[in-house]
Amino acid sequence: MINFVDSLNKGLELVNQYDANNKEIETVFAELNRQLNKAYDGKLVIELNNYNPPNQFHDECWDIVAKNPISLEYSQETYTLAEWTQSSTGYPCAIFFSGQKCVCEDKESLEQAIAELLSDPVVARDLRTVINQTSTE
């Protein structure tokens, strides 16, 4: 006879694992934005963004976007920097940008992948545009 409670416990363990890993991923973005806030006077925020899938056959869609929250005119406008996917246990997560897909198994590798994203010249050009947005534009 199958032990259904054991099966549910395994599922719940995976849910807990996802919650813990997701919280860790949130701390990476929190630290990223803490540093950006200090360096650019609050003109640049980078975050995960959930958007509507193109059709009913697609899973939930996420990307990494940048915005300038203090620009009154542009605070609702976001620039997409990369696509984002995440497994049901939190890791691996993956960042797609400039023809590259970086699959990250843990916090340290995610930090490194975000660093590579920021140092990509195509991405950096968009970030410069965001930082330079002012309400007089």
Partner 1 sequence: MKLTLIWWNTSLAPLSDTPASDEQLNIICRVVEGFVNDGQADFIALGEINDCYFDYLEQNTIINGFRWFNLAKKYSRISFDSCVLVREDKLQVLETQDITVSKATSTAKIAQKIIVAVKNYDKPVQFFISHWASRLHTENLDRVHLGIRLRDEVSAILKSDDVAPVILLGDYNDEPFSDSLTTGLEATRDITRARKNTFLLYNPFWRHLGETQHYQRGEDATIKNRCGSYYYKSGSITRWHTFDQMIFSACFVGGGDWHLNEISTGIINTPELFNRVMDNKQKFDHLPIISVLEKEISHD
Query: Rule CB under 8 A: which of 54-83 touch partner 1?
Result: 57
**Cβ–Cβ < 8 Å for 68, 130:** yes
Alpha-carbon distance of 55 to 64, in angstroms, equals: 20
Query: Rule CB under 8 A: which of 98-127 touch partner 1?
Result: 99-106, 108-109, 112-113, 116
Q: How far is the CB of 62 from partner 1 (least distance, A)?
A: 15
Q: Is 53 in the site for partner 1 (CB under 8 A)?
A: no
Look up residue 104 and give its amino acid. C
H-helix or E-strand spanning residue 3: none
Alpha-carbon distance of 63 to 24, in angstroms, equals: 18
Q: Which CB sits closer to partner 1, 45 or 64?
A: 64
Q: How far is the CB of 101 from partner 1 (least distance, A)?
A: 5
Q: How far is the CB of 3 from partner 1 (least distance, A)?
A: 26
